[in-house]
């Protein structure tokens, strides 16, 4: 995989995205605005426009009990589960499997009235990161998705407007070993999640429509996805 043409970009993007994900949302003065909250899940956005297009960066933080960071990243990264949890997905193509941890996707998302339908072409990479503090612990796992150009999937060639996205799912497993020294069970683990996303909608869409869509879709997505992983893993051995 290190020889692949995308490798340098993947390496740089992962480092940059993980560094940004680790930054707290700080005092809300730093521009992050809390726009959705549900139990442990908090969603922030920054209102940003690029030549008249809403590209509000989104940062969500969440803590989920009973699953590991590896398990969350595995179900987020692996194509075979995506239709189960990604409700806005109309069609997904695995364009290229660069390696077991790097895949290129083409996805068509369901049309959201009154905007035109969108599609995305992006590479997706999953990796374990050394947790600066404790090296031998379960550590940090991340999946980074970033739009890329593919000659065989030219932008805006068909009915869909091409979106440009950069997404980072950063997961830290927290283990609370049982007092009695017994084996670690799912009651003793939780996962701290940071999900960052910037989606440039490509062609024009009304700012009000986009912000309403993001406000509805992002909380729904993170809640549905985490519930899906809990359900998929509850009767399986823990994978760190």
Contacting residues toward ligand 9ML, per CB under 6 A: 86, 88, 107, 109, 112, 115, 118, 120, 145, 163, 165, 167, 197, 199, 201, 205, 210, 213-214, 217-218, 221
Q: How far is the CB of 59 from ligand 9ML (least distance, A)?
A: 13
Closer residue to ligand 9ML (CB): 189 or 210: 210
Q: What is the CA radius of gyration of the chain?
A: 18
Q: How far apart are the C-alpha atoms of 147 and 167, rounded to whole Å? A: 9
Q: What are phi and psi of 80, to 5 degrees?
A: -65, -15
Q: How far is the CB of 218 from ligand 9ML (least distance, A)?
A: 5
DSSP at 137 = S
Closer residue to ligand 9ML (CB): 4 or 111: 111
Contact criterion met (CB below 8 Å) for 17 and 32: no
- Which residue, among 207, 198, 163, has the nearest Cα to 53 in the 3D structure? 207
Q: How far is the CB of 203 from ligand 9ML (least distance, A)?
A: 9
Contact criterion met (CB below 8 Å) for 165 and 199: yes
Closer residue to ligand 9ML (CB): 113 or 179: 113
Q: How far apart are the C-alpha atoms of 2 and 10, rounded to whole Å? A: 10
Closer residue to ligand 9ML (CB): 140 or 160: 160
Q: How far is the CB of 191 from ligand 9ML (least distance, A)?
A: 17
Q: How far is the CB of 180 from ligand 9ML (least distance, A)?
A: 40
Taking phi over 0 as left and psi of -120 to 50 as alpha, with beta for the rest, 237 belongs to beta
Closer residue to ligand 9ML (CB): 144 or 238: 144
Closer residue to ligand 9ML (CB): 63 or 207: 207
Q: Is the peptide bond before 114 cis (omega within 30 degrees of 0)?
A: yes
Q: How far is the CB of 131 from ligand 9ML (least distance, A)?
A: 23
Q: How far apart are the C-alpha atoms of 171 and 127, rounded to whole Å? A: 11
């Amino acid at each position: 995989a290190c020889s692949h043409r995308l490798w340098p970009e993947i390496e740089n993007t992962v480092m940059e995205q993980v560094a940004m994900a680790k930054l707290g949302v700080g005092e809300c003065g730093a521009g992050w605005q809390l726009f959705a909250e549900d139990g442990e899940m908090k969603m922030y956005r920054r209102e940003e426009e690029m030549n008249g297009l809403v590209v509000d960066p989104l940062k969500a933080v969440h803590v989920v009990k009973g699953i590991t960071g590896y398990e969350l990243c595995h179900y987020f990264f692996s194509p075979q589960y995506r239709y189960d949890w990604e409700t806005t997905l109309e069609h997904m193509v695995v364009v290229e499997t660069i390696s077991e941890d790097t895949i290129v996707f083409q996805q068509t998302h369901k049309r959201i009235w009154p905007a035109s339908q969108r599609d995305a072409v992006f590479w997706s990479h999953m990796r374990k990161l050394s947790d600066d503090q404790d090296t031998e612990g379960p550590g940090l796992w991340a999946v980074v998705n970033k739009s890329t150009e593919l000659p065989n999937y030219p932008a805006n060639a068909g009915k869909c407007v091409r979106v440009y996205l950069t997404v980072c799912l950063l997961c830290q497993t927290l283990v609370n070993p049982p007092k009695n020294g017994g084996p670690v069970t799912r009651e003793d683990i939780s996962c701290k999640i940071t999900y960052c996303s910037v989606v440039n909608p490509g062609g024009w869409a009304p700012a009000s429509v986009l912000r309403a869509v993001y406000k509805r879709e992002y909380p729904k997505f993170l809640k549905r996805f985490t519930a899906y992983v809990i359900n998929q893993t509850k009767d399986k051995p823990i994978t760190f």
